[in-house]
Structure 1
Amino acid sequence: MKKENKIIVLDVILVVISLYMALLLKFDFRIQPDYIEFFLLSIIPVVVLTIIFNVIFKLYSNIWKYASVEELLSIVYSMTASNIAFIIYGYFISHTMLKSRFFRFPITVHIIFWLLSVISLGGVRFLYRIMENNGTDKGQINKIKNLLIIGAGDAGAILIKEIKNNSTLHYKIVGLIDDNVNKIGKRIHGVKVIGDRNKIISFCKQNKVDEIMLAMPSVDKNTKKEILDICKQVTKNIKTMPGIYKIIDDNINVNHMRDVNIDDLLGRESIKLKSEHIDRYIKNKTILVTGGGGSIGSEIIRQIAKFSPKKIIILDIYENNAYDLEMEFNRNYPEINKQVIIASVRDTIRIDQIFHDHRPDVVFHAAAHKHVPLMEGNAGDAIKNNILGTYNVAKCCDKYNVKKFVLISTDKAVNPTNVMGATKRFCELIIQAFNEVSKTDYVAVRFGNVLGSNGSVIPLFKKQIEKGGPVTVTHPEITRFFMTIPEAAQLVIQAGGLADGGEIFVLDMGKPVKMVDLARDLITLSGYKPDVDIKIEYVGLRPGEKLYEELLMDEVALTSTEHNKIFVEKPKDATIEFIEEAIKQFRNVDNMTKEEIIKLLEEKVPTYKRKKD
């Protein structure tokens, strides 16, 4: 028999017993025969009415293992409604059919019956909950985790209630932390606020805290980083709440808690788009993205899709990434008109054909070789792909009257010490020179390392940790600026909206992050102790690598924009004649030695200072 049917049978038995007990209690256990006769006559109507109202109030669709006050109120409502209906039935029978005052029960019987039925039906259900939870607890007794919650606000209160109402989570909340001195010593749902952030380490050690949850969805990134820096000293198991909107929707539960990301440790607020600058140049336009299958290119395309473009052209030399992106868009944006083109930006004839056939309005140029050590050993290919490829695309933009061309540049283009940085700096010169002679608005966007992008340091560190270490860092003092993939893509798109032509846009990326600190954080968040479980080894700077990256050529040239996190560097002098002459020479790299190529780069990029080994 199904569990629901068993409960219905049990309800029938309990209701009949409750009604008979109400008569016994009312008449001191000496029930008159007429009332016995009416009791027998009422059994079927009472049972039917009870089941009907129990169904109406969803008593058979609730999961009683998680029963709470709401389910008890459902029983009260159902029993009240069925008793009222039973009273009406009694009056109807006695006055219209049998004409006898004895063929209805005194109101006292109905009151006692109501009380007994609520107690019996509710008691059985809550007894079931206790038995189920006890059974679960016996099997999971060793899995109970001591939990510390940080944040004694609305989010913390909702989180405590959720955990206490869900016994399958196996948490024991041992305390709350909050920096508000007025809350210290107070209790929320029975959980005491034991102190501010300075209490975290000592309290966790004293109470053997297994896990920490941050219930501070609206706190700024700097504060969150400071608290996370404390928490990670005592446990690897740290979860955080994703956003304040969960509180607004009253939709918080433990499943919304996520593991702390490395992004949380950067201590900088995320960049937000200002859509009014974007709509006017993306909406109903044909957009071409070179390198569209890569980390940055694909995210640019995802962001662009939100602004209703007329068509998106995904151009990439690597078919697998482009195919994966096409399948993703078929699922998530089936209404978007898109086309995947497999081609190389080096191929002058093919790129011209693509522009002729599709006539893009906006071009985002993300195709590039970007790995510093690899490009040191492959300088000729770095020039052909980065410099000549950019020139080919920029030339076609001018020829086919593209409205905007946005180049993806890098902080390594600032006073470059490596081939990759030097080629990207020359790409910036290309767009500034073309901007002077073309109707197209040419602009470059410069940012630092992108977390999670192909070839970035985070995936490398993770792979090294998975293998048991060591985690390799080039130098104990090396620092880098970091941003997330969505931030990078948004900056690129935002720059296109702000551009008048010729600018190099720079993101305010906050303070640079020490690579060794990033490595230690990632080791800790992976559940290990740095230099104990996983060693950190210093392997020396790689060819062409700098200790510190710079984002600007000249701070004096920096000016602000309408976006408070985006700044612009004024254009440098670069004539189209200089660019054309350099391109002729760069086209001949296959016939040059590596030393000749380096000397040519030094000649054409005056700020390039080769790092001596």
Structure 2
Amino acid sequence: MSRVATRAFQTLLDVVALAAAFLLAFMVRFDWQIPQEFMRRCFVLLPYVVVIKYLVLHWFDVPRFSWRYIGLREVVRIFQALAVSSAILLTLRLITTRTAKAIPFIGHVWVPLGIIAIDLTLAFGLIVGLRAIRRLRGEQVQTRAAVPVGEGVATLMIGAGEAGLQVAKQLATRRELGLRPVGFLDDDRTKIGTFIHGVPVLGATEDVERIAAECGARQVLITISAANGRHVRQIMAKCETTKLPVKIIPPTHEIVGGQVSLSRMRDVAIEDLLRREAVRLDETALREAVTGHVVLVTGAGGSIGSELCRQLCGFNPKSLILVERAENALFEIHRELLRTHPDIELVPLIGDVTDVARMRSAFVKYRPSFVLHAAAHKHVPMMEWNPGEALKNNVFGTKNIAELSHEHAVKMFVLISTDKAVNPTSVMGASKRVAELFVQALSSRSKTRFVAVRFGNVLGSTGSVIPIFREQISRGGPVTVTHPEMTRYFMTIPEASQLVLQAATMGKGGEIFILDMGEPVRIVDLAEDLIRLSGLRPGEDVEVQFTGARPGEKLFEELSVADENADKTYHPKIFVGRLPVTPFEMLSQQLDQLSSAVDELEVDSVRDRLRRIVPEFAQDVAEARSARLAKEEVTRRDEVRISVLPALEQG
């Protein structure tokens, strides 16, 4: 049947249902013995009532709803439409009551109130019932086409909530998935013994080994979209004894339109073990900053830079300037964004942030109003071997972009910083701390709002520990960890990028925002988790070796320093730390002296020069703490001296 014919047939059914409801209302009201007088009134009013009701249904878009996929939202809409039409009939009935004596004809269309109420109930039941029958019929057809009993991979599902219900529905109707549900497990004891869309809830998660054996399960599927990392880790630990493969549905923030899609079912990844609550963004503030404006991103081909570009495109900038010195990385992100956002002007700009002339020409030509500076050298050991390059890129590259932003009246500048800038023990960390100091100092004399955002490691970024571990596991090991007690903060790339953009909208100028990274994770635990997720056993199939800390590495990272006043913001995952600002003139002189070290190959010489700007920069954590305490004492003495001087001058 064609679409037009189907629509016409559905309209006819609705009209018949509305007419039948009105006729039945008279029969019910008069106990199936309708007086002759009211029978006449019924047939006189019938066409008018049907027309009024159908027009109101049309006004509420009810005829456009799919009968096959009717749900609660559509049912509520139908009731609202019928209630409005009944209110119109009630109003007309009250008018006829008042005018019946003056206009004799009106009395011939007067009906009892009970008929209007009964008509509303019957019309609602018939209109919804027709659609419910169509939906049930469609589901029965799909169920007959689903995987026959005994075929498909026997799947035991963990989580009998809303996501589990959606999964069960899809498994019942989609043969191509090749899965056969054998039962649910859920830690809500009240659900045990019940059925979710025909699938029994067999027990709690702790019973997974026994129940999997009893029902012949061949795989486990975690159907809890809102599960955090700790919950997923606990489930994985319980499933380990089953020796079965474990799959998972996407987390809540990856689900489009609230609908779980089994086509996105996948193996459990390390990101799932570190899941946190999805980021809630203030989209209004972001749209004000991005929509219709020119945005420039440095390091656009990197892990964070490329994700920032993806997030920004969702807010429809006028144009997006992609600055990247690695042509292959720039080519990939530019090609991706062209495919996903063809309506946005994208400018791929090969260039180095240390090339002032090249960067100035970009600012002059494109005049960005929002700059995100993600370009940086980030590898700690590499920067220990090449300290001058850390200064050139992380310090003076930042200085170039920040000064150009000031000169060209950019509204907002955001520096992507790192937790390694806190009490740094590496050249990389110290160079990022100097970059923070510079944007703070420049902010005090500029109309541009300069802010920095500081966070820890991101999962899966280029050259990070996760890809290295995966490569080592694929070779059969060993997996190398520097120290058994080494810990790091981790965050997914999308979450970090979203929080960076959110923090940017909060800045008034001069702030260093600190992202809540959650709980620190032991690197050895991360390595063992990756081995298990690969279907292997740590220590047996793949060995874990400890190699000792590398130059500049800390055993743990810090996200704030003692002399910061870390305050909460309105976003629960973003804090702001306000540090004393180094005077711009003093810092400029120090940077002039530091610039002579960019070509130095001697690490100790570079360290000494950096320490003049960052006193807390030290060889190890203990030395860093001592330097920090010394700095606090100097600051305290300066405060006392400053507070005493005015009194001496007055005396």
What TM-score do the two structures reach when normalised by structure 2?
Answer: 0.69
Partner of residue 597, structure 1? 606
Partner of residue 112, structure 2? none
Match of 1:551 among 544, 559, 565: 559
Structure 2: which 5+ runs fail to align? 1-67, 69-140, 624-651
C-alpha distance in structure 1 between counterparts of 2:500 and 2:195, whole Å: 48
**Cα offset, 1:511, TM superposition:** 0.5
C-alpha distance in structure 2 between counterparts of 1:245 and 1:265, whole Å: 15
Give the direction of change, closer, same or farther, for the CA distance of 1:248–1:326 in structure 2 (3 Å limit).
closer
Give the direction of change, closer, same or farther, for the CA distance of 1:473–1:148 in structure 2 (3 Å limit).
same
**Cα offset, 1:559, TM superposition:** 0.4
Give the direction of change, closer, same or farther, for the CA distance of 1:234–1:448 in structure 2 (3 Å limit).
farther
C-alpha distance in structure 2 between counterparts of 1:522 and 1:214, whole Å: 18
Give the direction of change, closer, same or farther, for the CA distance of 1:516–1:205 in structure 2 (3 Å limit).
farther
Partner of residue 213, structure 1? 221
C-alpha distance in structure 2 between counterparts of 1:353 and 1:189, whole Å: 63
C-alpha distance in structure 2 between counterparts of 1:385 and 1:247, whole Å: 39
* 1:152 matched to 2:152: no
Give the direction of change, closer, same or farther, for the CA distance of 1:469–1:599 in structure 2 (3 Å limit).
same
Give the direction of change, closer, same or farther, for the CA distance of 1:607–1:222 in structure 2 (3 Å limit).
same
Match of 1:457 among 460, 465, 472: 465
Give the direction of change, closer, same or farther, for the CA distance of 1:275–1:554 in structure 2 (3 Å limit).
farther
Q: Which letter maps to 1:516?
A: V
Q: Which secondary structure state, in structure 2, belongs to the residue aligned with residue 182 of structure 1?
A: helix
Structure 1: which 5+ runs fail to align? 1-69, 71-125
**Cα offset, 1:161, TM superposition:** 4.8
Give the direction of change, closer, same or farther, for the CA distance of 1:606–1:163 in structure 2 (3 Å limit).
same
Partner of residue 14, structure 1? none
Across the two proteins, how many residue pairs are aligned to each other? 482
C-alpha distance in structure 2 between counterparts of 1:299 and 1:246, whole Å: 15
Measured against aligned partners, the alpha-carbon deviations of 1:407-438 in whole angstroms (never above 9, x if no partner) come to: 00000101111010000011110011001111
Q: Which letter maps to 2:548?
A: G
What TM-score do the two structures reach when normalised by structure 1?
Answer: 0.73
Partner of residue 351, structure 2? 343
Q: How does 1:472-487 map to 2 (within 5 A)?
A: 472-487=480-495
* 1:566 matched to 2:577: no
Moved more, 181-190 or 162-171: 162-171
Q: Which secondary structure state, in structure 1, belongs to the residue aligned with residue 314 of structure 2?
A: helix
**Cα offset, 1:168, TM superposition:** 6.0
Q: Which secondary structure state, in structure 2, belongs to the residue aligned with residue 444 of structure 1?
A: strand
Give the direction of change, closer, same or farther, for the CA distance of 1:254–1:363 in structure 2 (3 Å limit).
closer
Q: Which secondary structure state, in structure 2, belongs to the residue aligned with residue 569 of structure 1?
A: strand
Preserved contact between residue 161 and residue 189 of structure 1 (Cα < 8 Å)? yes
C-alpha distance in structure 2 between counterparts of 1:297 and 1:248, whole Å: 24
Give the direction of change, closer, same or farther, for the CA distance of 1:153–1:278 in structure 2 (3 Å limit).
closer
Partner of residue 88, structure 1? none
Q: Which letter maps to 1:604?
A: I
Partner of residue 498, structure 2? 490
**Cα offset, 1:378, TM superposition:** 0.4
Give the direction of change, closer, same or farther, for the CA distance of 1:504–1:246 in structure 2 (3 Å limit).
closer
Preserved contact between residue 149 and residue 175 of structure 1 (Cα < 8 Å)? yes
Match of 1:177 among 168, 172, 185: 185
Q: Which secondary structure state, in structure 1, belongs to the residue aligned with residue 371 of structure 2?
A: strand
Preserved contact between residue 240 and residue 259 of structure 1 (Cα < 8 Å)? yes
**Cα offset, 1:334, TM superposition:** 1.4
Match of 1:426 among 427, 430, 434: 434
Q: How does 1:79-478 map to 2 (within 5 A)?
A: 145-165=153-173, 171=179, 173-188=181-196, 191-204=199-212, 209-235=217-243, 237-242=245-250, 252=260, 254-478=262-486
Q: Which secondary structure state, in structure 2, belongs to the residue aligned with residue 335 of structure 1?
A: coil
**Cα offset, 1:315, TM superposition:** 0.9
Over the matched positions of the two proteins, sequence identity in percent amounts to 43
* 1:577 matched to 2:581: no
Measured against aligned partners, the alpha-carbon deviations of 1:519-551 in whole angstroms (never above 9, x if no partner) come to: 111111112122221111111111111111011
Query: How big is the alpha-carbon RMSD for the aligned residues of Structure 1 and Structure 2?
Result: 2.9
Give the direction of change, closer, same or farther, for the CA distance of 1:377–1:190 in structure 2 (3 Å limit).
same
C-alpha distance in structure 2 between counterparts of 1:567 and 1:252, whole Å: 33
Q: Which letter maps to 1:399?
A: E
**Cα offset, 1:200, TM superposition:** 2.0
Moved more, 232-241 or 525-534: 232-241
Moved more, 484-493 or 445-454: 484-493
Measured against aligned partners, the alpha-carbon deviations of 1:224-266 in whole angstroms (never above 9, x if no partner) come to: 4432332245346222222569999796564342222211111
**Cα offset, 1:481, TM superposition:** 0.6
Moved more, 203-212 or 487-496: 203-212
Q: Which secondary structure state, in structure 2, belongs to the residue aligned with residue 460 of structure 1?
A: helix
C-alpha distance in structure 1 between counterparts of 2:362 and 2:489, whole Å: 36
Partner of residue 529, structure 1? 537
